[in-house]
Amino acid sequence: MEEALKEFSTWGPRLVDLGTNLLVALLILIIGWWVSSLLGGWVRRAASRSSKIDPTIIPMFYSTVVWTVRIFTVIAVLARFGVQTASLIAVLGAAGLAVGLALQGTLQNIAAGIMLLILRPIRAGEYVALSSGSDGTVEEVGLFLTRLVQVDGIHLTLPNSTVWNATITNYSRNKTRRLDIPVPVRYGDDLGVVLAKLKTLVDANPDALKDPEPQVKVFDYKENGIIVNVRVWAEASKYWDLRWGLYQQIRSALEEAGFQPPIPLREIQNPKTGAAA
């Protein structure tokens, strides 16, 4: 019995210290995780309210703040158990180098994400098309991935390196866009009347900008008719409304005025008689 008491008196304080360290470490971990989420949320809200901060970089700011606090929290927890943080940092550095060599593609995505945020060829809310065949409205440029929302509501997630290495066509960066509509006119129709009617129709459209002035000009001659080009500028947000509206109005207005669309004609000759069939 006396030996058991001696053993307990020897191990008791150690167990108490271990339990205390576990409790304190758990408390540090919980508080650190809570503080990281709190600071991340505060940074996101503050950045969202500022007109000087591009919305595209807000997710990266949030992730950086959150994981910086969490890494320091884990180091503090390990230090509570007597782990030498200097040695730990050296080990983490060596491990980071090894992981970096193994994950070169991931590092390329990080580097591409940083370049996208610095040079900003795309921003949140802009509609873009990539030479890889993807297109959509930019929702987020993260540390590893870029998220697009296509016109049919489908979310598209791409590695940052894919976006960075592609040719980017940005349809939203400029405030205005030009619309060109080819209108075929039959040979023999009064071209002057057609041009005047199209000019009147375009000038009356509220979505068509007056500066630059709309242009209605003869553009080309085809086998089956003359091509008249209707060139008009619109605000980027109203481009598709103007396009859809003009395509319908032009055809309806010309048909009401008695102008029918050209019909392709082909002459087939009989090889025996040489006469047209």
What CA–CA distance (Å, rounded) separates 185 from 102?
63
Considering the domain architecture, whether residues 201 and 163 belong to the same structural domain is answered as: no
CATH of the domain at 240: 3.30.70.100
CATH of the domain at 130: 2.30.30.60
Considering the domain architecture, whether residues 163 and 90 belong to the same structural domain is answered as: no
CATH of the domain at 96: 1.10.287.1260
| Tens digits of residue pLDDT in 122-181 | 988 899 999 989 999 999 888 788 999 999 999 999 999 999 999 999 999 899 999 999
Domain that holds residue 18: 12-102
Q: How far is CA 105 from CA 47, 122, 126, 162, 177, in A?
A: 30, 22, 26, 11, 37
What CA–CA distance (Å, rounded) separates 48 from 55?
7
Considering the domain architecture, whether residues 18 and 92 belong to the same structural domain is answered as: yes
Residue 9: pLDDT band with limits 50, 70, 90: low
* pTM, entire model: 0.59
Q: Tell me what the pLDDT averaged over the chain comes to.
A: 82
CA angle 19–20–26, rounded 5-degree value: 90
Considering the domain architecture, whether residues 152 and 208 belong to the same structural domain is answered as: no
Residue 110 lies in a domain: no
Residue 116 lies in a domain: no
Residue 7 lies in a domain: no
Considering the domain architecture, whether residues 89 and 73 belong to the same structural domain is answered as: yes
Considering the domain architecture, whether residues 210 and 149 belong to the same structural domain is answered as: no
Considering the domain architecture, whether residues 194 and 217 belong to the same structural domain is answered as: yes
Considering the domain architecture, whether residues 19 and 92 belong to the same structural domain is answered as: yes
pLDDT of residue 90: 67
What CA–CA distance (Å, rounded) separates 140 from 124?
6
Considering the domain architecture, whether residues 16 and 98 belong to the same structural domain is answered as: yes
Q: How far is CA 85 from CA 29, 74, 98, 131, in A?
A: 16, 10, 20, 47
The answer for residues whose C-beta is within 8 angstroms of residue 248's C-beta and 6 or more apart is none
